[in-house]
Structure 1
Amino acid sequence: MGVMRFTVHPPDLLEGLSATDMLYISGMDGRIYPTRGEWSDGVLACRRPLSDSGKLTVPFPHNQRGYSMLTSTSLREREEPYLLMIELARGALSSLRDQWAAWEMGHMAIPQVFRDLQSSAFSAFASACASQSDVDRACELARNAIEDTRRAANVLVDAYVIQRMTSLRRNSHLPTGLLGCALDPAALESQNSEFFLSAFTAAAIPISWKSIEPHEGNYHWDLADDLVEFAQQNRSVIKGGPLIELDDGGLPEWLAPWKNDLLNLPSFVCDYIETAINRYTGKVRIWDVSDFGNTGQALDLSEEHRLALVARTLEAAHRTDSDAQFFIGIDQPWGEYQRKGNHRLSPMQFADALVRSNLGLAGVTLHINTGYNGPATFPREMIQISRLIDLWSLLGIQIHVKLGCPSSPRHDPLADPRLSVNEQVGEEPWCEEAQSEWIERIVPLLLAKPAVTGVFIENFSDQHSHRFPHAGLLGADGHPKCQFAPLRRQKHQDLT
């Protein structure tokens, strides 16, 4: 059993952040170890199975809205506790300088504002390291270094997006990528359809097995047919699915008696895959075949059996329509779920196994969401999201991203009860303006990435059943939210 210790100062630094539940230690290869956090007299002890060097990732509160996950550099175990604030500043600054070097070698023009902020952050960090005999001063300087590093990172990312998008629009007459949203019945209303068409070039049509066949042999295709027809009439690119959802409760209830029959269960699944794809052959060319395969707990299937089942679904889908493009959904793409010790495969290992199997996998759909408690991704900075996409692009396949962010901290009765809006956001709670601001920053960043061929909003309306609370473009009362504005601007810029 390995243990790393960190002195937390000021003592209330991580108060209210559920830090012991969220923290984890990862290795040099990015693998996340099962990690348990314990408090004792202002010292945070992080326990894991191995004693190798590792990086601590922990939630860190910022001076403005909310918190994000910060990661230290690789540290060895030692008896004397590390000073947490200094190690987080070291990690943030190191990561920033690595990205700066990579983009500068790629001939990106680096703004002077970034250089000044980075220099200020480095000076504050150096002073903090030299002042560790005075813990109060060292932590104050380290916090200044973290905030300057954060501001510098935002400047660097903004410069990357501007330069990359300018280059794409100058050298190509095609849109940078699909910009879409998951449809629901609200989109079929005339006024709402105008809102949708003003902002998106693509439509994601939910064709979940649980909704389509709630009782064995009794199919409900009406809504899916109407949504596909709507998208066709308006010349939107259609993405169907996910067909199979492997999260807890994602499969039809009538399938439960077959959960231990590992020979016949795949036959039921593949039969639905073939039925759905055959129904929309020629209309739907892009499919999310399965979702939550890397994290799901459907029917208490083991990780090995889920991987085998996803492989079978891809095989069946490709056999049914070899001309279509098939994706799989990846939940929590940073791999936070591994910290609990219930999963052996990282998200990339799960996807890589399917890529190497040569089953016709065209790409992955990554779930990136912020502001939620429960089975969701932890909050990340834009530069961390950029590095995540760069990492996943190493697989050499397409990347789609599904986005979710709340517009209100209130309870959402139509959302997944396992998820709630994170209220630990400092003085500024989540609101429509905050949601719009996040969308305005992340969508251009994602579309600027060469490997990203599609970005999709989690759901269109909060009026109908949905997964993430208050993530829709329309409120529960049907009013259009502020995030329509940046999405419209993005579509207009892509088409001009």
Structure 2
Amino acid sequence: MLRFRVFENGKPASSVCLDGAYLVGSDGVPLVAQLSFGDGEIRCVKRAAGPAGLNVLWPVEGFGRLMLETARLQERDAPYNLHVELARGRLMRISQKREDWGLYDYADGADLYRRVDEAKALLVEAITAPTEAAAAAKADASLRISTAVGEELCLFHADLFLQRRRATGGFVKRPFGVGVLPNRGDDAYRERLKPAFDFAVLPTLWREIESRPGSPRWDPLDLWVNWLGQHRVHVRGSPLISLDRLSLPDWVVGDQVNYDDLREALLTHAAQLVRRFSHRVQSWEVVHGIHANNSLHLSLDQLMDLTRMASLVVKQHAPRATAIVGVVVPWGEYYARDVRTIPPLLYADMCVQSGFHFDAFGLQFVFGAPQEGMLVRDMLQISSMLDRFANFNKPLHVSAAAVPSSVIPGRGGDSPVAGGGVWHAEWSEEVQARWLERLLAIAFSKPFVETVSWRDLVDHSGRIPPTSGLLRADLTPKPAFERLLEIRRNLIGDRTSQRSRA
């Protein structure tokens, strides 16, 4: 068992929010464990032996409320001080990234380095403090500094490499994308795409296309694909295969699912979809999150078989199209509660080692909702995750990014602090714009990231979070939309000039 003492105002805490909390092992894989709180302590009972770290949604004064991870710790009889271990864990990760990025001797980084040293000194004071309450106070002070400076170091590194990439023209021709709604065909909606986006992510849900077996409905997709082609906006179809319950037709889902029958039906659907749009869709997300959303409880071998099959369908029927393997919830929190899924990094490694014919990975970063996998993480964590996937030597696409532009209450209408987390300030249109700006800087500073797609063009009540669009429901632009246009002009020019050169 791992135990963590928690303090509030110098006294043992009376309550701690454990929504979304989980343990992670030394290999980075979430662990099955039972977490509880009582008598000022978090108790973590895990099945697996070996060291583990606790991930918890944690308030940091002046920064927000975000997922943070302790150092990896061995089980022992005495409880750990959670405040100290969170501060230690943050500084360890900063040290790792400074080494990876070589951020030690840049003159412009001197103030950042000084603040890292200040956070380290406070951690030493916490470790040597005479009481645990005093240690918690010093550790909190260390964490306040290290959380802020960790993100600033990440942005400092991004700015250096973004300038280099821009100077060398290292961007692909069409790096900016956005998700659209197939049932929105009005001109006002479509026209908003043209000035900002190089491609549209068009949902191709099996459930919407073939609600009755053998009777596919193509009209909404045909209309969209034709319009996009006429206006020189490329198309990404997503997903070809998804096992999310909301993506599957009712006639597929039953008490007993025969895998061979399911595979045949999926193959037929995927093949006819790719064939129909083979000359008009430039990229496909061949699978979307099947490692995490396995509603049919398929085996690992079956999930990998579907990944291989979907990739082959694209390469056979649209060989010039880009085949993207979509990864959702890249930190893998879901695996701690459902071992019938596959941890994301393990899944990616298996795809590469198995020799599947696909071109890239797509990563999803959606935060700000009180839901598993959507609890707030900061830019240092996002940047580090992109770097981890770069180790597979495949290009990366940020296939869906989204945060809300207004507060999303927690369960039962609680305050936003108890919801999906806070990044710098309560969610607002300006905070959303600032988050988008920093994400784009970090993603495009990395030469292995080819495109970034914002998940929603317009706010939609059926989405989580519902206010994650770049446009309000009345199609007026939010600050994030204007910020994206500005960033686009600075990086690659505007769409009008690109079309005139084409």
TM-score (norm 1): 0.90
Structure 2: how far apart are the matches of 1:176 and 1:81?
54
Cα–Cα, structure 1 residues 207 and 284, in superposed 2: closer, same or farther, change >3 Å? same
- Which of 96, 99, 116 is the matching residue for 1:98? 96
8 Å CA contact 1:463–1:478 kept in 2: the answer is: no
Cα–Cα, structure 1 residues 271 and 329, in superposed 2: closer, same or farther, change >3 Å? same
Specify the code of the residue in structure 2 equivalent to 1:25: L
Structure 1: how far apart are the matches of 2:16 and 2:334?
17
8 Å CA contact 1:326–1:363 kept in 2: the answer is: yes
Moved more, 175-184 or 281-290: 175-184
Deviation at 1:27, TM superposition (A): 2.2
Cα–Cα, structure 1 residues 280 and 109, in superposed 2: closer, same or farther, change >3 Å? farther
- Which of 313, 318, 328 is the matching residue for 2:315? 318
Cα–Cα, structure 1 residues 448 and 428, in superposed 2: closer, same or farther, change >3 Å? closer
Task: Report the equivalent of 1:414.
Answer: none
8 Å CA contact 2:34–2:45 kept in 1: the answer is: yes
8 Å CA contact 2:322–2:359 kept in 1: the answer is: yes
Structure 2: how far apart are the matches of 1:258 and 1:313?
25
Moved more, 255-264 or 37-46: 255-264
Task: Report the equivalent of 2:28.
Answer: 30
Is 2:174 aligned against 1:169?
no
Task: Report the equivalent of 1:119.
Answer: 117
8 Å CA contact 1:180–1:200 kept in 2: the answer is: yes
Is 2:332 aligned against 1:335?
yes
Task: Report the equivalent of 2:284.
Answer: 287
Task: Report the equivalent of 1:439.
Answer: 436
Structure 2: how far apart are the matches of 1:15 and 1:274?
57
Cα–Cα, structure 1 residues 192 and 246, in superposed 2: closer, same or farther, change >3 Å? same
- Equivalent position SS for 1:111: helix
Task: Report the equivalent of 1:369.
Answer: 366
- Equivalent position SS for 2:246: coil
Cα–Cα, structure 1 residues 461 and 185, in superposed 2: closer, same or farther, change >3 Å? farther
Deviation at 1:382, TM superposition (A): 0.6
Task: Report the equivalent of 2:17.
Answer: 18
- Equivalent position SS for 2:88: helix
Deviation at 1:183, TM superposition (A): 1.5
Specify the code of the residue in structure 1 equivalent to 2:100: A
Q: Residues 263-412 of structure 1 correspond to what in structure 2 (within 5 A)?
A: 263-343=260-340, 345-401=342-398, 402-409=400-407
- Equivalent position SS for 1:435: helix
- Equivalent position SS for 1:46: strand
How many residues end up aligned between the 2 structures?
A: 485
Specify the code of the residue in structure 2 equivalent to 1:18: C
Task: Report the equivalent of 1:63.
Answer: 61
Cα–Cα, structure 1 residues 425 and 325, in superposed 2: closer, same or farther, change >3 Å? closer
Moved more, 58-67 or 357-366: 58-67
Structure 2: how far apart are the matches of 1:197 and 1:451?
26
Task: Report the equivalent of 1:179.
Answer: 176
Cα–Cα, structure 1 residues 8 and 94, in superposed 2: closer, same or farther, change >3 Å? same
Structure 2: how far apart are the matches of 1:373 and 1:134?
35
Superposition RMSD on alpha carbons, in Å? 2.7
- Equivalent position SS for 1:365: strand
Structure 1: how far apart are the matches of 2:371 and 2:468?
15
Cα–Cα, structure 1 residues 352 and 423, in superposed 2: closer, same or farther, change >3 Å? closer
Structure 2: how far apart are the matches of 1:281 and 1:422?
43
- Which of 396, 416, 422 is the matching residue for 2:419? 422
Structure 1 unmatched runs, 5+: 412-420
Percentage identity across paired residues of the two chains:
25
Structure 2: how far apart are the matches of 1:14 and 1:406?
30
Cα–Cα, structure 1 residues 281 and 386, in superposed 2: closer, same or farther, change >3 Å? same
Structure 2 unmatched runs, 5+: 410-417, 494-502
Structure 1: how far apart are the matches of 2:81 and 2:445?
37
Cα–Cα, structure 1 residues 348 and 151, in superposed 2: closer, same or farther, change >3 Å? same
Structure 2: how far apart are the matches of 1:250 and 1:135?
50
Moved more, 226-235 or 170-179: 170-179
8 Å CA contact 1:259–1:301 kept in 2: the answer is: no
- Equivalent position SS for 2:119: helix
Specify the code of the residue in structure 1 equivalent to 2:167: R
Q: Residues 79-98 of structure 1 correspond to what in structure 2 (within 5 A)?
A: 79-98=77-96
- Equivalent position SS for 1:256: coil
Structure 1: how far apart are the matches of 2:462 and 2:367?
19
Structure 1: how far apart are the matches of 2:420 and 2:321?
42
Structure 2: how far apart are the matches of 1:450 and 1:160?
13
8 Å CA contact 1:93–1:149 kept in 2: the answer is: yes
